Amino acid sequence: MMPLSKDRPFLALLLALVGVALAMGLLAGTPFALSRYLANAIGQLAAFAVLALALDLIWGYLGILSLGHGLFFAVGGYVMAMYLLKHSFVVTGTVPDFLQFMGWKDFPFYWAGFEFFPYALFVAVAVTGLIAGIFGYVSFRSRVGGVYFAIITQALVYVAMLLMFRNDTGFGGNNGMTGFAVLFGWPMGTSGMITALAIASLLVLAGVLVGCRLLVGSRFGALMLATRDDETRLRTLGYETLRLKLGVWCLSALIAMCAGMLYVPQVGIINPRVLSPELSLEIAVWVAIGGRGHLAGAVIGALLVNAVKFWLSFAAPDIWPFILSGLIVLVVLVFPNGLMDLATFKLVRPMGPRRAAAALEEGR
């Protein structure tokens, strides 16, 4: 793999992310500051890019397609929503809507401690690690892979969606959770908070991007690629691929969880639709369009596809599914490596009579 210092597309993307974050911070509170809508959109796009990196790490570099990463994204989102609601209740005394809807006078017992962010973060990491660890160990030990693994992960996220639709689970049911008033003691919805969340999302994206690049460029990353290309030969040489696959799978799940924790405060709501199979499928589409096995491509794909989606969802919501389908067909038929193929794609100017004659002479 190309050394990090010579990877120009990667470095350009990294500088762009850090530059946008610095510009937003420096311009905050001035007449040149971004609008609240644009700042919020940038923050959401950055969270989606982190989610795309999580999938590209396991799919692009280990060859394991997961169609259930929306589950880990939702775990982070729901835990963050629980912290925001419990913290808002402690600060403002406002009873959340879902408690009033259910007629409950107090939070369920398992909400205890969620007014403290460190505890909420610990729970998010523990739950994500437990789900990913158990599921990954059983699947990889049984050598389930390929389309079978993808189908199982899709079924897993669908079961979780059905569970979260139940109103008696204490997680908001089909209406979800909303009404977040404060974050770390600061009021939500202000221009400063929106900008801060967007900057935090950009910086986390940059950090995850660098971390993943260092990982795949190391000796461990070489083993990941070897497992993707010929796992049987690697096992024959004495390498334990189970631990390698399980470790990368759990790391990917934790990155997806972080994306969910960044996303929920910016969108202001979470409901079981985040667990719909469509989202998990869309994540794979982002990575495929950007370029599977290229970290920069995964980020660019997520940013580009979701930016177009945001715009078309407002301007022409009916045609977005057709455009997305067309992009998928274009990638499959013309650019199998996604947008990364554009780096080597060259348009050749048609030859005139003189150039054609010269070429013919050279051929002779």
Left if phi > 0, otherwise alpha if psi is -120 to 50, otherwise beta: which for 268? Answer: left
Query: Residue 358: pLDDT above 90?
Result: no
- Which of helix, strand or coil describes residue 177? strand
- Give the sign of the dihedral formed by CA 42, CA 45, CA 51, CA 56: negative
Query: Residue 267: pLDDT above 70?
Result: yes
Higher pLDDT, 332 or 302: 302
pLDDT given at position 189:
83
CA–CA dist 192, 159 (Å, integer) = 38
pLDDT given at position 101:
79
Long-range contacts of 129-138 (CB under 8 A, 24+ apart): 129/250, 129/253, 129/254, 131/71, 131/72, 131/75, 131/253, 132/72, 132/249, 132/250, 132/252, 132/253, 132/254, 133/246, 133/250, 136/245, 136/246, 136/249, 136/250, 137/242, 137/246
The tokens of 247 are what?
A: 């470790």
Average pLDDT over residues 185-210: 92
Range with lowest mean pLDDT among 170-184, 281-295, 317-331, 346-360: 346-360
Average pLDDT over residues 352-363: 52
* pLDDT band of 237, cuts 50, 70, 90: confident
Average pLDDT over residues 245-262: 96
Find the length of the chain: 364
Which letter does DSSP use for residue 270 in this model?
E
Q: Which residue has the tokens 């209406």?
A: 175
* pLDDT band of 360, cuts 50, 70, 90: very low
| pLDDT tens-digit readout, 30-74 | 888 888 999 999 999 999 999 999 999 999 999 999 999 999 999
CA–CA dist 332, 191 (Å, integer) = 41
Which letter does DSSP use for residue 334 in this model?
T
| pLDDT tens-digit readout, 321-338 | 788 788 778 777 777 777
Average pLDDT over residues 84-92: 89
CA–CA dist 162, 160 (Å, integer) = 5
pLDDT given at position 133:
95
Domain limits, the chain? 4-333
pLDDT given at position 6:
78
- Its pTM stands at 0.89
Query: Residue 350: pLDDT above 70?
Result: no
Range with lowest mean pLDDT among 105-109, 162-166, 199-203: 105-109
Average pLDDT over residues 151-159: 93
Higher pLDDT, 31 or 98: 31
CA–CA dist 294, 19 (Å, integer) = 21
Query: Residue 78: pLDDT above 70?
Result: yes
Query: Residue 351: pLDDT above 60?
Result: no
pLDDT given at position 248:
95
pLDDT given at position 105:
80
pLDDT given at position 263:
96
Query: Residue 265: pLDDT above 90?
Result: yes
pLDDT given at position 347:
43
Q: Tell me which architecture the domain covering 4-333 has in CATH.
A: Orthogonal Bundle (1.10)
pLDDT given at position 343:
61
